[in-house]
Amino acid sequence: MAHYPITHHLTDDLLMSYAAGTLPEAFALVAASHVSLCDECRARLGAYEALGGAVLDTEAEAMTDDALERGLAACLSRLDRPAPVQRPAMRQGPLPGPLADWIGGGLETVRWRPLGMGVRQAILPTSRRATARLLHIPAGVAVPDHGHRGTELTLVLQGAFRDETARFGPGDVEVAGQELDHQPVAEPGVDCICLAATDAPLRFNALLPRLLQPLFRI
Ligand code: ZN
Ligand code: ZN
């Protein structure tokens, strides 16, 4: 995968949980995929992992927030440059390495199911605490507007989409929570392919998607 300018990143909470190994598999898959493409998040993840090790070596309860902050700053400063990663995604089209490994191949191995309006999805096997799906949204097409009962992570693999908050291009990840209602629209030109993970059903505003929801596990 080419080196895209990534502007939307994982939150610190997500990176910390990922470092601690407490994310549901579906979220961990999005995190691993984004980290494999993003030098910045990889560096922060490295710092959290180092900090986690440092905390385990001391009396965790004895550490004040100040001490933790100092420890994190120290870990961050020790990482001068993130190690260059190999980008196995190169040979897998738009799929980042961890995702290609997870599905066991490239996009041609994906078995898509129609969601309506030309949108297709493929649910990936993960633990049931959260659901991961690939979404293929034709260029210019809008996903039904919806809110969220939990957290939704959307990583762009190809193309781009816009919603009420911003534009998301390849490598960008949108972190949507209960406060956000949005209608993602794929940009014209190239079909948009995303990896999305949710830990609760979406809240669709229109009746039809609401009726079809259980069928699509979305
Ligand atoms: Zn990032
Ligand atoms: Zn959403």
Q: Tell me the CA–centroid distance for residue 40 and ligand 1, in Å.
A: 5
User: Which ligand neighbours the alpha carbon of 14 most closely?
Assistant: 1
Q: Binning pLDDT at 50, 70 and 90, where does residue 118 land?
A: very high
User: Which ligand neighbours the alpha carbon of 8 most closely?
Assistant: 1
How far the first Cα of the chain sits from its last, in Å, is 28
Q: Tell me the CA–centroid distance for residue 177 and ligand 2, in Å.
A: 8
Q: Tell me the CA–centroid distance for residue 59 and ligand 2, in Å.
A: 40
Q: Tell me the CA–centroid distance for residue 94 and ligand 1, in Å.
A: 17
Q: 170, 146 in Cβ contact below 8 A?
A: no
User: Which ligand neighbours the alpha carbon of 145 most closely?
Assistant: 2
User: Which ligand neighbours the alpha carbon of 172 most closely?
Assistant: 1
Percent of the chain with pLDDT over 90: 69
Amino acid 74: pLDDT: 74
Instruction: Supply φ then ψ for residue 49, to 5 degrees.
Output: -65, -40
User: Which ligand neighbours the alpha carbon of 153 most closely?
Assistant: 2
Amino acid 89: pLDDT: 41
Higher pLDDT, 73 or 139: 139
| Model confidence at 204: pLDDT above 80 | yes
- Lowest mean pLDDT of 3-12, 81-90, 204-213, name the range: 81-90
User: Which ligand neighbours the alpha carbon of 12 most closely?
Assistant: 1
Spatial distance between the Cα atoms of 133 and 56, rounded to a whole number of angstroms? 35
Tell me the per-residue pLDDT of 59-116, one tens digit each, with 9 for 90 and over: 656 667 777 777 777 777 765 555 545 444 444 578 999 999 999 999 999 999 999 8
Q: What is the pTM of this model?
A: 0.85
User: Which ligand neighbours the alpha carbon of 163 most closely?
Assistant: 2
Spatial distance between the Cα atoms of 52 and 164, rounded to a whole number of angstroms? 36
Q: Tell me the CA–centroid distance for residue 210 and ligand 2, in Å.
A: 14
Q: Tell me the CA–centroid distance for residue 31 and ligand 1, in Å.
A: 9
* Sequence spans of domains, the chain: 12-80, 97-216
What b/e readout covers 97-111, taking b as 16+ CB neighbours within 10 angstroms? Answer: bbbbbbbeeebeebe
Higher pLDDT, 27 or 54: 27
Higher pLDDT, 215 or 9: 9
Amino acid at residue number 112: W
Q: Tell me the CA–centroid distance for residue 143 and ligand 2, in Å.
A: 9
User: Which ligand neighbours the alpha carbon of 11 most closely?
Assistant: 1
Q: Hey, which CATH number is domain 97-216, 2.40.30.10, 2.60.120.10, 3.40.1160.10, 1.20.120.550?
A: 2.60.120.10
Question: What average pLDDT does the segment 28-48 reach?
Answer: 96
User: Which ligand neighbours the alpha carbon of 152 most closely?
Assistant: 2
Q: Tell me the CA–centroid distance for residue 176 and ligand 2, in Å.
A: 6
Tell me the per-residue pLDDT of 178-194, one tens digit each, with 9 for 90 and over: 999 999 999 999 999 99
Percent of the chain with pLDDT over 70: 87
Higher pLDDT, 217 or 120: 120
